[in-house]
Amino acid sequence: MSAVAHAHDHSHDHAHGHDDHEHHHKDTFITKYIFSIDHKMIAKQYLITGIIMGVIGVGMSLLFRMQLAWPEESFKLFHFILGERMAPEGVMKNDTYLALVTIHGTIMVFFVLTAGLSGTFSNLLIPLQIGARDMASGFLNMISYWLFFTSSVIMVSSLFVESGPASAGWTIYPPLSALEQAIPGSGMGMTLWLVSMAVFIASSLMGSLNYVVTVINLRTKGMSMTRLPLTIWAFFITAVIGIISFPVLLSAALLLIMDRSFGTSFFLSDIYIAGEVLHYQGGSPVLFEHLFWFLGHPEVYIVILPAMGLVSEIMSTNSRKPIFGYRAMIMSILAIAFLSTIVWGHHMFMSGMNPFLGSVFTFTTLLIAIPSAVKAFNWITTLWKGNLQMNPAMLFSMGFVSTFITGGLTGIILGDSTLDINVHDTYFVIAHFHLVMGISALYGMFAGIYHWFPKMFGRMLNKNMGYVHFWVTTVCAYGVFFPMHFIGLAGLPRRYYTNTNFPLFDELQDVNILITLFALVGGAFQLVFLFNFFRSIFYGKKSVQNPWRSNTLEWTAPVEHMHGNWPGEIPHVYRWPYDYSKPGHDDDFVPQNVPMKDGEEQLHH
Amino acid sequence: MTTLLVIVILVLLSIALWQLTKIFDLTQAVNGITDSGTQVATDKDNNIQGYLMFGFLAFIYILTIYGLLNWGHFVLGTPASAHGAQVDNLMNITWVLIFFVQTVTQALLHYFAFKYRGRQGQTALYFADNDKLEFVWSVIPAVVLAGLILYGLYAWTNIMFVDEDEDVMVVELYAKQFSWEARYSGEDNHLGKANVRYIEGVNTLGVDMSDPNAQDDKVVNELHLPKGKKILFKIRSQDVLHSAYMPHFRAQMNCVPGMVTQFSFEPIYTTAEMRDMGFMQEKVAHINDIRAKKSAELVAKGLPPLDPYTFDYLLLCNKICGASHYNMQMKIVVDTPEDFKAWYETKETLASAVKAANAKPETTEPGSAPDTAKASVPGDTASVKQDAKPVAMASVKK
């Protein structure tokens, strides 16, 4: 097989100590690695930036988990990392705690799970899987990455501001986020937060527009919309909801900047703080909540849909079986995307908006459970009677389905306005959304990394380290978030610096310690992944062209990266991407670029 | 218990690390020699991981059962409000459904992962779609959810909409960084108008004292409610968003500056009755055990011990509102109507408090415009010097 021959060439190269053949490109270091317009390089840039932000985001969560388990105790670690200003004598300050939860949320949702996940894999896979030479606009793509990088730098630099970073929660509800008198982080820190997010939104929009245009226009011959891999469907629809909802966050951010800096009253009214009445009159924080969640809710689907796409693809490949219900999967992606834009009010049942609106949002929210259930059942059926290849990517995909179900089911409680009354803003919510969108999306991201690492770096990740990484992570993820349901049902509010002021919550302390221990162990074992990742970039086993024996077009491209993806002609497509174990073929996979045999029938619809 | 868990986790961690180094050594040794060097799962991997997947199902079940047994009693228990039973009933129905679906789907997922783990020569079934199956598992969730939605909306409407002609007692909840106050509407059951611009001295809620409805309003720092009377809370905030969360009453509503929000419920158990309930006595005893242990530790360190805990209803802030968000609470006491009346009558009306406060500063500095600092700390000359630099005097208690 040619793939084997190719791999042989590579080990040959390796023996001679060459890293990359670049002498046939005229790239300088700067155009190849920094201001690259090649989608594969941009994908890697997104991934590595995302991973660095992920380390910061997860690291913060470990710090505030320690504070919750051992409240107001002195840790040298706190003093070392946070410094005297944020943790005098090693005791974390209360506003530092809020700053950490705020920046943790912001970084994880936007910088890791939006840019790091969708940015990486949309960029990598859209051109490769639809058979295009590159994105519709490589230049726009490059700008998109560098805006993302700029916004990351601004966000991280806000940590070093004298008055502290934004600390009004990642939802930055005004007036808390608008008034420096209310919390110190709402000064310079919040300004930087808003600037960073404005830049981030510009980046996200450029990326999304590019994805949409590329998917619509640059599909290779034969690649009809119903022959697209589910990854592409997911990225495509994600980009569409991103285009619809992100601008609304930008307008919310702009209006908030106006309120903060130019004395307007869009979100503020009747405020008496620090001994004086402020001049604001007639604005409403509820308006901000509407604008924020008009993005904020689609945002969780912007996070989870790409993960769903990756999982569908990886599961089918590793089950050696077609994804079950391809069209139902597309329909549910569309249904989820549509519903995701009309459910935002379920974050606001208790906001003081008209209860009638609450009824409407309960209705639309619970509807979204139907396409989600269809997807879960389809994944499970895909496994049925398969020939499951337990690669780390496959394990993370199955882990995804598990946490998606566990986390998703409690959505039935939170989406029901009546039940939300008593669990709103408690740890129950934390448990729910971390499992259903945090952990699940991270699993999707890990699955994607393990699966497409060979495509990105031409080398394989070590599978045994992958297994260790998966099992410790998955045990710890349940260990952290499962008990949170119980303390949430006990009425424990989120965003409390310490629970010691309420004797009622004393009995929850042991659970909080347990959660923190799981978090610390789980966090520590991400080092295994990081080690594996960075080591394998340089020293990993060289990959063959199609290591997972997969059908999609990216595996028909040579391992060696090149501008334009394929030497010679772009492959044409003759079949859907899920002809695994199709009767009548010798191999248990039939790549999309293999023409139909004489008399071969399409066995799916 | 915790110590044990710590030890177990440390042991697991060290085993994992040991295994990790071993695995790493092994992979170094075999890299490029055997087929495991390709880093693609082999039959052996499939086998091990398949068994582990099945084992993980056991882990999920055990964690669930362990959680229910050991942490199940954390839940808030018998609701103290009339509508609470409806909320809890819907909650329980939903839980039954969730546990059923969770148990079945996780079992299928992990069992399939185990059962169909890859083997050389095994062929997967080419099974791409089946309209009947898709139909079944679209319609079943749709029907079940329709039931939940209908029940949920019925309950929601009952709870949230208060009829004009209902016999309620109107009470204002007032939130500010980082404390609560409450204002009773008095005999007329009408709250006087209020706005932050009227905040002055003891009138910390900014009540318009020229409003006739305000004359019999009473402001308190501890909320007392009569059992069996539906209370309509009118909720305001002075500065940022807060949320009035009364978990035992299954009640919550945000406090929004510039807007009056509302929530209503009828308390059905007095504080004393709630303290006497079996589950509550167990809970309190359990908490006091924990506190006694902690006190012993504190005393050993030469620190004062913790007070023993007695149950009280609480109003907590449940929307991030600033650095001390974690300690913004107010005690709620539910009395019998008679006790409530007796307590209520001991409280002074805001109008007379304002009158008294205004009378005093006149003597120290007549003619000057009334200001916050003087009014709230009458006769304190130090506070007069601070006039130029406004501080949050409004929060100073009378």
pLDDT at position A19: 43
Same domain? B392 vs B248: yes
Does B117 fall in a domain? no
Mean pLDDT of A141-145: 95
In this complex, the residue of A390, A472, A503 whose CB is nearest that of residue B45 is A390
In the block, tokens 């530790």 appear at B297
Per cent of chain A over pLDDT 70 is 96
Neighbours of A485 (CB within 10 A): 24
Q: If you average pLDDT over residues B379-396, what whole number do you get?
A: 37
pLDDT score for B163: 86
Domain count, chain B: 2
Residue A114, judged by CB atoms within 10 A of its CB (0-12, 13-18, 19+), counts as: buried
- B291 in any annotated domain: yes
Query: Can you give the pLDDT at residue B374?
Result: 38
Subunit contact B126:A580, Cβ cutoff 8 A: yes
Q: Give the separation between CA A41 and CA A511, rounded to whole angstroms.
A: 44
| Residue B387 belongs to a domain | yes
CATH of the domain at B385: 2.60.40.420
Distance CA A600, CA B30 (A): 43
Whether B89 maps to a domain, the answer reads: no
Q: Min CA distance, B186 vs chain A (Å)?
A: 25
**How large is the average pLDDT for residues B87-107?**
96
Cα-based angle B278, B284, B290 (whole degrees, multiple of 5):
140
DSSP symbols for B278-317: HHHHHHHHHHHHHHHHHHHHHHHTTPPPPPPP---EEEEE
Count contacts between A and B (CB, < 8 Å): 437
Q: What is the DSSP string of B6-23?
A: HHHHHHHHHHHHHHHHHH
Chain mean pLDDT for chain A: 92
Q: Are the Cβ atoms of A489 and B286 closer than 8 angstroms?
A: no
Question: If you measure CA to CA, which chain A residue comes closest to B124?
Answer: A386
Q: Which of left, alpha, beta for A201 (phi over 0: left; psi -120 to 50: alpha)?
A: alpha
What pLDDT does residue B5 have?
A: 67
| Residues in A touching B173 (Cβ below 8 Å) | none
Is B108 contained in some domain?
Answer: no
- Distance from C-alpha of B291 to C-alpha of B306, rounded to nearest angstrom: 7
Vertex B59 angle, CA A309 and A56, to 5°: 55
Q: How high is the mean pLDDT of chain B? A: 86
Angle at A86 between CA B180 and CA A429, to 5 degrees: 55
DSSP 8-state code for residue B74? G
Phi, psi of A554 (to 5 degrees): -60, -25
Tokens standing for residue A380: 């499970």
Task: Determine what percent of chain A falls in helix, strand and coil, rounding each to the nearest 5.
Answer: 65, 5, 30
Nearest CA in chain B to A364: B149
* Burial class (CB within 10 angstroms; exposed 0-12, middle 13-18, buried 19+) of A217: exposed
- Mean pLDDT value across residues B41-52: 93
Q: Is residue B217 part of a domain?
A: yes
Q: Which residues pair with A580 in a beta bridge?
A: A589
Decide if A330 touches B, using CB distance below 8 A: no
The conformation of residue A187, written as its DSSP 8-state character, comes to: T
What is the DSSP secondary structure assignment for residue A587, as one 8-state letter? S
d(CA A67, CA A523): 16
- Kindly write down the DSSP assignment for every residue of A138-164, as one continuous string: HHHHHHHHHHHHHHHHHHHHGGG-TT-
Using the predicted structure, report yes or no on whether residue B222 has a pLDDT greater than 50: yes
DSSP B164: T
Whether A348 and A397 have beta carbons less than 8 Å apart is answered as no
Among B103, B117, B159, CA closest to A402: B103
pLDDT tens by residue, A19-34: 444 445 567 877 778 8
pLDDT at A443 over 80: yes
> What tokens appear for B26 in the block?
């092994």
Q: Cβ of A602 under 8 Å from any chain B Cβ?
A: no
Strand boundaries in A204-327, DSSP class E: 272-273, 276-277
> What's the pLDDT at B358?
87
pLDDT for res A2: 40
State the pLDDT at residue A21: 45
Best to test chain B binding among A272, A395, A404, A537 (most B CBs inside 10 Å):
A272
Q: Report CA Rg, chain A.
A: 24
Q: Which residues contact A399 (CB under 8 A, 6 or more apart)?
A: A443, A470, A473, A474, A477
Question: Which residues in chain A are contacts of B13 at CB distance < 8 A?
Answer: 521, 524
A43-59 per-position pLDDT tens digit: 999 999 999 999 999 99
Residue A28: what pLDDT? 80
Q: In angstroms, what separates the C-alpha of A394 from chain B's closest C-alpha?
A: 10
- Give the C-alpha distances (Å, rounded to integers) separating A435 from A265, A403, A406, A428, A485: 37, 6, 7, 11, 11
A169–chain B Cβ distance below 8 A for any pair: yes
**E strands in chain B:** 169-176, 179-184, 218-220, 223-226, 231-237, 242-246, 251-255, 261-265, 313-317, 329-335
Query: Chain B neighbours among A 77-116 (CB < 8 Å)?
Result: 93-95, 98
Please state, in angstroms and rounded to a whole number, the distance separating the CA atoms of residues A165 and A152: 14
Task: End-to-end CA distance of chain A: give it in Å, rounded.
Answer: 31
Domains of chain A: 28-225 (1.20.210.10)
Contact A444, A116 (CB under 8 A): no
Residues B225 and B359 in one domain: yes
For residue B278, how many other CB atoms are within 10 A of its CB? 9
Give the angle subtended at the CA of A310 by the CAs of A308 and A315, to the nearest 5°: 95
- State how far residue B163 is from chain A, nearest Cα, in angstroms: 14
Q: What is the mean pLDDT of residues A506-529?
A: 95
**Would you place residue B12 in the very low, low, confident or very high pLDDT band (cuts 50, 70, 90)?**
confident
Q: Do A417 and B156 touch (CB under 8 A)?
A: yes
Which residue shows structure tokens 């809890």? B88
Judge contact between B87 and B79, C-beta under 8 A: yes
Q: Quote the pLDDT of residue B3.
A: 60
- pLDDT surpasses 50 at A477: yes
> Quick one: average pLDDT of A129-148?
94
Residue B116 located in a structural domain? no
Give A422's DSSP letter. H
Does the residue B247 lie in any domain? yes
CA atoms within 13 A on the CB side of B334: 26
| Strands of the sheet with B329-335, listed across from one edge | B223-226, B329-335, B313-317, B242-246, B251-255
A511 pairs with which residues across the strands? Answer: none
Distance from CA of B215 to the nearest CA of A (A): 23
In this prediction, residue B19 carries a pLDDT of: 72
Predicted pLDDT of residue A576: 94
Is residue A123 within a helix (H) or strand (E), and if so which, with residue range? helix A120-130
The pair phi, psi for residue A499, each rounded to 5°, is -100, 10
Whether A499 and chain B come into contact, CB under 8 Å, resolves to yes
**A392 Cβ contact partners less than 8 Å away, ≥ 6 residues apart:** A446, A447, A450, A461, A463, A466, A467, A469, A470
Residue B36 has pLDDT above 70, yes or no: no
Chain B contact for A327, CB < 8 A? Answer: yes
Q: Which pLDDT score is estimated for B1?
A: 55
pLDDT digit string, tens, across residues A304-329: 999 999 999 999 999 999 999 999 99
| B250 φ/ψ sector (left φ>0, alpha ψ -120 to 50, else beta) | left
With a cut of 60, say whether residue A6 has pLDDT above it. Answer: no
pLDDT at B21: 65
The structure tokens 């604001």 sit at A280
3-state class of A309 per DSSP?
helix
Q: What is the pLDDT of residue B18?
A: 72
Give the pLDDT confidence of A83-124 residue by residue, as tens digits: 988 999 999 999 999 999 999 999 999 999 999 999 999 999
Distances (CA, A) of A219 to A108, A305, A553, A605: 32, 21, 11, 21
- Residue B72, Cβ neighbours under 10 Å: how many? 12
Contacts of B105 in chain A (CB under 8 A): 376-377, 380, 405
Q: Do B258 and A270 touch (CB under 8 A)?
A: yes
- Collect all residues with Cβ–Cβ distance below 8 Å to B297 and sequence separation of at least 6: none
Range of the domain at B25: 1-40
Return the pLDDT at B24.
64
Tokens of A110: 């936007």
